[in-house]
Amino acid sequence: MAKPKRRYVCQACGSVAARWQGQCADCGEWNTLAEDAPKTVFSAKHDLSSGGRTIAFTPLDQPGEMPRRRASGLAEFDRALGGGLVPGSAILMGGDPGIGKSTLLLQVSAHIANHGGLAVYVSGEEAAGQVRLRAERLGLSKAPIQMAAATSVRDILTTLGTMDPPSMLVIDSIQTMHSDQIEGAPGTVSQVRGCAFELIRYAKENGVTLILVGHVTKDGTIAGPRVLEHMVDVVMSFEGERSHQYRILRSLKNRFGPVDEIGVFAMEGDGLAEVGNPSMLFLSGREEPMAGSAVFPAMEGTRPVLVEIQALIVRLQSGATPRRAVVGWDNGRMAMLLAVLEARCGLNFSSAEVYLNVAGGYRLSDPAADLAVAAALVSALGDKPLSNNAVWFGEVSLAGEIRPVAHSSIRQRESAKLGFERGFGPAGGPGAEKGMKFTGLAMLPNLVDRILSDA
């Protein structure tokens, strides 16, 4: 028999190479290729067309059962999930180290356990004593959570087999789990995939909500093994800046609900507190207008959130390459906006360093941010403060048009509620809301004229 071929699997993206290389050819990560268990070599006569069982087809319009959902007790958590925990589903939760994943899941487990559910929390990262200390700090040490420190999936599944299936099973984290059936160290793609597969199968067969904590790679995408994202029903990411108080729970994929709602939390001394009305959190609340600062009424699902966008422009004397740095927004999008401002409005950023920051550690994903970012950049460039009772929203095209965006009226109404009086947005839209004076801008040069001439 031929010797099984060696194969190497990238631990970051899961792609397979025949030879070891320092850099993965697919995702470009360095030192991520590791030898994987040899693949079964199929014989040429590989026939699957007989010998199986027949499966039943059903029409789509058959009355099906809607998944029952269980409230977690944290309304913001349920909101991000699209309405609570679905039994028999698998959720992957990613997030930077120290952002609060373990804290959040311990709080959710405690609530389920306190309300008649059975919650099992398996920690592969911390010793049982450490988890107990955290629970004490959160005031949850009385909650009847079934807690264990374990890393062997066989031990975990054997134990679960001897008891009633829990309502919720937390595995913190999937990268620490290992299966003795699979070669390789914990955290390698084959281990992570194999362990997740077994745990998900257990969850589906027993109607358990499984939550897998996953680590996040440097560039912020969920967990080395992208393969996991395909295996689970829901992918959530817990975001925020560790130095800031606010945390946002976002769902990136959801087989049972929408993906545009967020949950907002504040990290406090005794754990994560829910923030029911987040619209003001990301405003800095200063009195004096400052050049380079613009307020943007963002939409997160059905909720408006007002955020302050700050730009700083530093002219360089020497011919050094100017820096561009963006925190909380897309790098490529800022480069595009700078190019449009140069090409369509004749502004010159080429010898200047450009810094852009979204206040409060918030990450913007709403395309309507373009106009507010442009306003902040132009204001910083011309050193002209924008009126501090104004908000800005609209999408900018490569031609320099300001394009209409969704939810113009909700954005304005929330702004008016928070004391703003002027709105600048796309021309030809639905117009002003009560309490707001709205100015429609058709093209980016209109915005530039308005800011630079309006001293």
Pairing verdict, β 16-17 and 7-10: antiparallel
Q: Do 168 and 120 meet the contact criterion of CB atoms below 8 Å apart?
A: yes
Evaluate whether 195 touches 176 at the Cβ level (below 8 Å).
Answer: no
Residue 74: C-alpha distances to residues 58, 86, 277, 301, 362 (Å): 37, 15, 14, 18, 21
Is the torsion defined by CA of 197, 202, 207, 208 positive or negative?
negative
Among 4, 28, 38, 97, binds ligand TYD (CB under 6 A): 97
Please identify, using beta-carbon distances, which residue of 267 and 281 lies nearer to Mg ion. 267
Cβ neighbours for 351, distance < 8 A, ≥ 6 positions apart: 315, 316, 322
From the list 415, 104, 133, the residue with the least C-alpha distance to 247 is: 104
Q: In terms of CB distance, is 102 or 251 closer to Mg ion?
A: 102
- Binding status of residue 176 toward Mg ion by CB under 5 A: no
User: Least distance to ligand TYD from the beta carbon of 353, Å?
Assistant: 32
Angle between helices 444-453 and 369-382 (to 10 degrees): 40
Residue 98, annotated ligand binder?
A: yes
**Smallest separation (angstroms) from ligand TYD to the CB of 268:** 6
Contact with ligand TYD (CB under 6 A) among 70, 134, 244, 363: 134
Q: How many of the other CB atoms lie within 10 Å of CB of 165? A: 17
CB of 110 to ligand TYD, least distance (A): 12
Q: Is 361 in the site for ligand TYD (CB under 6 A)?
A: no
Q: Give the torsion sign (CA, 146, 151, 155, 160).
A: positive
Cβ(101)–Cβ(95) below 8 Å: yes
5 is in an annotated binding site: no
134, interface contact from ligand TYD, Mg ion, none, CB < 5-8 Å by kind: ligand TYD
Least distance in angstroms from the C-beta of 138 to ligand TYD: 6
Neighbours of 26 (CB within 10 A): 14
Cβ–Cβ under 8 Å, residues 354 and 338? yes
Question: Among residues 173 and 310, whose Cβ is nearest to Mg ion?
Answer: 173
425 annotated as belonging to a binding site for a ligand: no
Instruction: Select from 14, 84, 94, 100 the one that contacts ligand TYD (CB under 6 A).
Output: 100
Helix (H, G, I), strand (E, B) or coil at 282: strand
442 binds ligand TYD (CB under 6 A): no
Q: Which of 273, 274, 270 is nearest to 135 (CA)?
A: 270
Q: Of 66-74, 99-107, 139-147, 325-333, which part binds ligand TYD (CB under 6 A)?
A: 99-107
Give the one residue of 9, 85, 90, 101 binding ligand TYD; rule: CB under 6 A.
101
Structure tokens at 185: 């160290």
Residue 96 in marked binding region: yes
> Around Cβ 328, how many Cβ atoms within 10 Å?
20
When CB distances are held under 5 to 8 angstroms depending on the partner's kind, the choice from ligand TYD, Mg ion, none that residue 97 binds is: ligand TYD
Question: Distance between CA atoms of 178 and 42, rounded to whole angstroms?
Answer: 27
**Interface mask toward ligand TYD for 372-411; x: CB under 6 A:** ----------------------------------------
Binding residues among 255-314 for ligand TYD as defined by CB under 6 A: 267, 269-271
State the nearest-atom distance from the C-beta of 163 to Mg ion, in Å.
Answer: 25
Q: Which does 98 bind (CB under 5 to 8 A by kind): Mg ion, ligand TYD, none?
A: ligand TYD
Q: How far is the CB of 131 from Mg ion (least distance, A)?
A: 9
Binding mask 82-111 for Mg ion (x = CB under 5 A): --------------------x---------
Q: State in angstroms the smallest separation of the CB of 125 from Mg ion.
A: 6
Backbone torsions φ then ψ of 170, nearest 5 degrees: -105, 130
Closer by beta carbon to ligand TYD, 97 or else 428: 97
- The reply on whether position 32 binds Mg ion by CB under 5 A is no
434 three-state secondary structure: coil
| Pairwise CA distance, residues 165 & 181, whole Å | 23
Residues of this chain that bind ligand TYD (CB under 6 A): 95, 97-103, 134, 137-138, 267, 269-271
Residues of this chain that bind Mg ion (CB under 5 A): 102
